[in-house]
Every structure is written in C-alpha cells, then in structure tokens.
Structure 1
Amino acid sequence: MVSDLVTSSTAADPRLLRAYRRLLRAYPPGPRRDELLDTLVESAPPGRRRPRLREMVNLLWHGSRARLGRPKSRGIVVLTLLVAVAGGCLGAGVANWVGWHAVEPLPTGAEAAEISETVFPGLTVWGGGEAARVVSQSDGEGIEYGYAVSWVKHTAATRDVAAYTAGVRARLEAAGWTVTGVDPPLDQTNVVDADPADRSESFTATRGRLGLRFNDYYWAGRPAYDGDGNATYYLWQEPPSWLLTVTWLGFLPGAFLAWLLTGWASRRLEPNPGITAPVAVGAVLAVLCVVPATLLALSSDGRADETAAPSWQGLAFSLRTPAVLFGLLAALLLFLAAVQRPPRRLPQWQRQATRGLDLARRRPVAAVALAAVTSLLTGLGLYALVTQQLLPGSCTPAVPSGIVDPPSARTSDKARVFIDRQATEDQRNLAQAAIWRGMGGSPEFAGDPRAPGFLSAYCSHGRVDSEVAERLPSHWSVELTSPGLFRGLAAEMMAMPGVVAVQHVPD
C-alpha cells in the first residue's frame, strides 16, 4: 500500500498532490487520510493540476462529519456551522466591548471646564461628567452614543435666543470647532394656542471625534414653577474608524472556539443516541438566541439624530441579553457532554477524571431536569424570594437624608427624590415640577407602601413591617438624561419644601 502510494504520488502533479493533502486535513489524523489520497491520485486524469470544485466540497463535507465524530450524519455539519456563526457573533460582541473601552472617555476636568466656559461664559453650569459609551435610546428602539448634558438656567442673555445662539457658534468656531448643521428657527404655525414669543434654536458641531449639540429653548409666559426653558449642550464621543475592523476580527476566534466545543460535545455524545436529540434542540435554541439579534443589529443604521449610533457599533450592548441566554444553554449542553462515559480510546487518566459523573450519565433525562430546575431557581433568586415573601419585618429600612451620591453611581442615570409623607398636595406638585426643571425626565411617583416597587427604595431583600412602612417617605423614581445631571437635580430639589433626600441610585 505504501509503495503504491509513493508511486502514485510521484506520478501525480505536485500541485495537485499538495492541494489534496490540504483538503484531507479536514479528516481526523490516521490511515484514512493516506487511503483517500491514494484513491484520489489514482483516479485523477493525467495532467490535472488542481481538484475539481465538486471534489473540494465533498472532501470538506465528509471530512467535517468525520471530525465531528458522526460520519453517517448529514445534519451535524449544518448544526455545527450554525453554532459557529453564533459563537462568531458573540466573539464580535466581545471584541466590540474591548474596542469601546479603548476609546477615550468624554472630557473632564480642565478640558470640560474649557468647553463649558466657551459655550456659557460666566454662568453656573450644571451637568457634564461621565457617560456610558453606548446607551439605549429612551424609546427603546435603538442605541446611541452615551452623552453628557450641561445646562444653565435662563438669564436675560440666554432668553435672547437668536443672539445668544449666534454668539455660541462664533465662540466655538474660534475654539476650533466646526459647525456641521443649523436647525431652522422654531415654527409653531400649526400649534394651537402657541405663544408667538416662544423661541428655540439649535445647531451641531464637531472637533476631532467629539460631537456637540447646542439648544436654547425659551417658553414665554409659562408660570415660574414650570420654568421658561433653558440652554443646554450635549457632548458625545464618536467611535474611531478602526472599531468596525476590531469588531469583526473578533468573529473568527469566537467561531473557531464554538466549532471546537461543538465537535468535542458531538464526539462525547455519539455513544448515547438518546441524549443527542435534546442536545441538538438546545443547540438550535442557543443559536436562535444570538443570530437573529445580531442580524437585527446589522440591519439598523440607527440614524435618528446626531447621537444615535448604527447598531453594529454597539454590538456588545445589543447582545448582552442574548449572550447570557446562549451562555446558560451552552453551559448546560457542555455539562451533559462532559458527564458521558469517555470513549475507550481515551487515555486511562482522562477516563478516570469523568467516571465520578456516571450517575448523571446513566440518567440523562434526570440530569437535564435537575440542571434546568437549578438554573431556574438561581435566575429567580430563591433566597430573595423566600425572604421577601415569608419573613415580614426581616428588613430594617434605611431612610436617606440630604444629597446621597455614592461613587458607585458615577455613570448611573437613575435617581430618587424622597418627600415627607406629611407634605401637602401642593408641595408634591411643586416638587414634581422642580424635577422637570432640574432635567429629571419621566418621574414615577410611589406613595402607597403596599404598591409594587415602593419598598425597593429601602430594602434590597426582606420585608418591612406594615406599621413601619406607613411612616416611610414617598418618593419619585427619576430617569436622568445623563448621569452628570444629578448634581443640578439635587440642588433644585433640596430647595423645595417637604423634600428630605435626593439619591443617586447605582446601576
């Protein structure tokens, strides 16, 4: 056999021989490679220099089936390819996350102060600070670059909207910014009962990868508690050009790792046909967790406004939940593969390493049920469920006082405003109006101690005694447009009667 192979190989064109050998690497190492090489060389017509396309596809297809431990299965290669695509998508998401963390953060310190002084010279500026790289849009329809909002209360100068906006543009251009777009003046032609004195002007500018949007709103005739508008600027960091390349380079190692793990699991499960079908269904579900979400991200350009980002630029953000589901399913399936009896061809020490899991191997259905129930109970938080429902009085509530802004809430867009339970309805209405003035959007009031979510402001687990709960302050949950707005909100709220605390809530 060897002498025949040497003779055939010598007679064949060296280029054809090298091509066949590369293709035969799809098969597992062993004598089968030599046998196939001999057959292919003998059947090749004289003068052929490269394999035919049909031969290439056939060798790769059957070689992959052999590699995956199921040479008689036609579906294993398709399933493995799908899992590899899902793994590649997750790999791209991980690379995207790493790439975003290499992007410079928003300006802070002296650089941020220089921008604020250019836009609002001589005024007290609230907001600014840090922001997440990518955030969800407020309507939940897409993602956008994380941005920091800075604002000032109106003065006589800022109420002259056109003149002040023109001055801001001139100062920014002198500081090296390029104005990229100017919005048309406010048009309220079709607005019922519109005040003709209302004014609004906006424009966008860039400097390097920094983007800036300026807005000046003046609503004449509004009552003092509602406020007559403000002047703001949004600042965000656009990603570098190399982020797309880094993101999709991460696809390759993710796909390769998923292929290897799927092949290993397939070979482990091959002696046990009864467990193969449930595992295959689980693998398909895992793929469905990731691939549609990735395709949806790729199909969206997200360009609703200046800060909105194409969804692929925030792929790591878009795939957070699908990645968790995929990871749980993958861990369960790999566990089932690990507990199977090792093939006899493995070395003795490898067989001994997994022999302690024979009980799970002998009862695979019970193992699946046990793993599923364990995962479910873990996800629901069994401990929190028991303590919250079965142990009244197990929590002693901690009532915040004053301004509470812990370091862990630095990039959080969530806040709470606490108001004394004895506050009058007018005081509550004035406080809620102040939340809007302080750039705290979408406040949700919780005043009933029995309502869902009321006690979560005081206890992360356990239950509060009903008499104690009745005396706790009511509170608003507030969504901040950007994390740095908390300081301005706190200053606005602590001046209101009845307000006892303003808390920046960590993510």
Structure 2
Amino acid sequence: MHRWLLLAYPRDYRRARGAEILETVRDVGAAHRRTRVAANLVRHGLRARLGRPASRSVVAWAAVFAMACGLFAASFGTWLAWLGSRPLDHRDLAAVVGQLYPDRQISHLDQDNPPAVFLIYGHPLDKDFLSELLLGDGAEYALAELTASFDQAPAAGLTELRQRLDKAGWERSAPVYTNAYDCVADSPGCDPASIPSDITVYAERDDHILTVELNADGSMGLTLSRATPGTAYPAGLLAFALGTVGGWMVFGWASRRTEGRRPVVQAPVKFLYGVAMLFWTAPILLGVPLMLTHHLNEPHPRWHVPWEWLGQPTLSLPFLLGTVLLLLALGLAALPHRRPAGPTLAGASEPAV
C-alpha cells in the first residue's frame, strides 16, 4: 500500500527518494500505526509537489486554488447530474391541476414541454444567448418550470388548498406570507398593517415540487418543477474531491516549473495567478453570504444549485477572465528552461513519516 501512496510525491522526488522513503517506512512501521504513517506519507508528498521548501505562503496559495477548483468542479458535476434527470412533462402538470381542482375552469396551462433542463429567457443556452449570460443576465439561467393559473381562486383558498394537497398525497410546507406591495414607511397613507398578503405554499411529491401562489388580487398560480435528483449529491462530492486534488497537482506542477526561474518568468506568473484568483474568489466571497442569508430568510423546498452559491453564472465573465489568465500563467510555466544538475526536490530535506 505504501508504494501506491508514493504517488502523492512528484515523479522526480519518487525517483530520487522513493526507495529511501519505503525503507524508512519499513523501519518505523512496527512502532507507529499504519494510518498515521500513511497520512504522513500523503501529507508530505502533497507538500513536496509544491516545491519551494523554504516557503510558507505557497501552501496557502495552493489551498486557495485547490479549493476553488473543487467548488467549481462540484458545480459542474452537479450540473451534469441535473442534465440526466427526468425532463418535465406538461401532462404531469395537467394531471396535477386536474387532481387538485377538477371542478374549476383553468385560465392558463402550459401545453409544451420545456426544451431543456435549464433555460435562459425561456430558451436553451446556445451561442445566441452567450452575451446575455456573460454580461450580467446570468441569473436568468434557471431551472425549467411549467405553469398554470386560475383567474379566480376558491373562496376558501388556503384552507381548501391544504385539504386538497393532503388528499392528493403532497407533502406541503407552512404557508409563506409576503406583502402584495410595499410603501415608504412614515409616509402619508402608508399603513403596513393594511397591506394585503400574497400566500405561497410549497409541496413535494416524488420528484416533483409544486409551488402554489394565492395572490391578493384573487388569482392563483401553480408552478411545477423538478426536485433535486439523487445523483446530484454523489456527483457533486466526487467532482469536488477530483477537482481539489487536480487543482493541487496543477498548482504544484506550475510551482515547481517556476521555482528558481528568472524574475522575468516568475513575476508575470505570480501576477497572473493573483489577478485570476481575485476574479475566481471574489464572486464566491460575495455569493455565499448572500445566498445563505436568502435561504435563512425564507423556506426553500429545493436548495439553489451549487453554482449560484459561487456567484455563477451571474458573474461568469470574471470567472472566464480568470480562467484565461490562469491558462496564460500555465503557458509561461511550461516554457522550456535548463535545470541545475541537482533538482530542488531531490535536495529537499527528508520528510518525516
């Protein structure tokens, strides 16, 4: 097993010190737990991948890059899982409406299936909508829904709705009350207590989520959408693990490639990396608190998809610019150069196990 764990070390290091490390592990193996020895091998191997043994900040910068890669990879993995989910069918919405309100005349009912799992302005994302996505309208890229509405809600609206949802086997949430309109506080004629309320009820059954809105004007709307597919969770976790490890490896490769290089190479790489991390992490630092506050302030039958927590695709342009800068930094790191006879990694102090 320990031989496989040596893969945590870069190839040059394994060639120079692999046999010595394994011999040390055999000598101390009887006196230490196998898990502790294995953990130390991996920890020191990952550190060796970064090179620059005298640097402390390199570990922090590598962790930032690896974590960002893991989060974006998790979002991509979850997105792929969503694309494999069962598409919405307008017949399901018709069946739901017919089951809940067979005695009422409906005013609107979607008759077509959504063309994709995620839509932007009602259309699948393609080259015609890339400009909207990149230039501030990324929030319009959202999960497809089917809608229906009644011009007039039943007289016993909320009470009757609860009864019908329970009878149809829907698991419903507590109703959410919101003001139908707002007025400026302390202004003449503004009485918050007199503002009518819109009522929203969320219900879930199988892989469907039903949102029912009882509006203050007497109308009622129903929205049918998909619940989060079960495959999204393992797909996101697996992608996060692969993205984090992959990010650490890529950062380590670039770090070792630029170690000991002339300032004319090192300085641009560091600058490009720093600006790219600003473009990558600023949307995350902005999006996570806002999304967390949003979730805590109102109930959600389905959590927002992971990329929205990272400020995507609303801030997809900074992410794209950061990616371009990182590719430029990797290109500079890949430029050929002559190494000294004794590589830094081989000359580094022996890691403890």
Same fold (TM over 0.5): yes
Paired AA for residue 91 in structure 1? A
Would you say the 8 A contact 2:288–2:309 is kept in 1?
no
| Counterpart check, 1:107 vs 2:96 | no
Kindly tell me the number of residue pairs found equivalent between the two proteins: 304
Paired AA for residue 327 in structure 1? T
For the aligned residues, what is the CA RMSD? 4.8
Q: Which residue in 2 is equivalent to 1:116?
A: 97
Q: Which residue in 1 is equivalent to 2:267?
A: 277
Distance 2:281 2:325 in 1: 14
The Cα offsets for residues 249-308 of structure 1, whole Å up to 9 and x where unpaired, read as: 211211222223223323333352312133123323333433454466555443344557
SS in 2 for 1:248: helix
Would you say the 8 A contact 1:23–1:60 is kept in 2?
no
5+ residue gaps, structure 1, are 1-17, 220-228, 346-507
Match among 277, 280, 284 for residue 287 of structure 1: 277
Paired AA for residue 271 in structure 2? V
Higher relative contact order at CA 8 Å, sep ≥6: structure 1 or structure 2? 2
Match among 48, 56, 61 for residue 79 of structure 1: 61
Per-residue deviation at 1:207?
1.9
SS in 2 for 1:265: helix
Distance 1:175 1:292 in 2: 46
Paired AA for residue 325 in structure 2? L
Per-residue deviation at 1:318?
3.4
Would you say the 8 A contact 1:92–1:247 is kept in 2?
yes
Q: Which residue in 1 is equivalent to 2:174?
A: 181
Paired AA for residue 30 in structure 1? R
Per-residue deviation at 1:85?
1.8
Match among 205, 224, 230 for residue 219 of structure 2: 230
> What is the percentage of aligned positions where both structures have the same residue?
23
| Counterpart check, 1:34 vs 2:16 | no
5+ residue gaps, structure 2, are 122-137, 184-188, 342-353
Per-residue deviation at 1:111?
2.0
Would you say the 8 A contact 1:179–1:203 is kept in 2?
yes
The Cα offsets for residues 433-458 of structure 1, whole Å up to 9 and x where unpaired, read as: xxxxxxxxxxxxxxxxxxxxxxxxxx
Distance 1:327 1:141 in 2: 20
Per-residue deviation at 1:75?
3.8
Q: Which residue in 1 is equivalent to 2:124?
A: none
The Cα offsets for residues 72-116 of structure 1, whole Å up to 9 and x where unpaired, read as: 5444344333322222122112112112222333332x2222233
Call closer, same or farther: CA 1:340–1:176 in 2, change over 3 Å: same
Call closer, same or farther: CA 1:233–1:73 in 2, change over 3 Å: same
- If the length of structure 2 is used for normalisation, what is the TM-score? 0.64
Match among 317, 320, 324 for residue 328 of structure 1: 324
* Map 1:133-152 → 2, pairs under 5 A: 133=118, 147-152=145-150
Call closer, same or farther: CA 1:127–1:192 in 2, change over 3 Å: farther
Per-residue deviation at 1:33?
3.2
Q: Which residue in 1 is equivalent to 2:131?
A: none
Distance 2:327 2:337 in 1: 18
Call closer, same or farther: CA 1:336–1:125 in 2, change over 3 Å: same
Distance 1:100 1:288 in 2: 29
Would you say the 8 A contact 2:82–2:229 is kept in 1?
no
SS in 1 for 2:173: strand
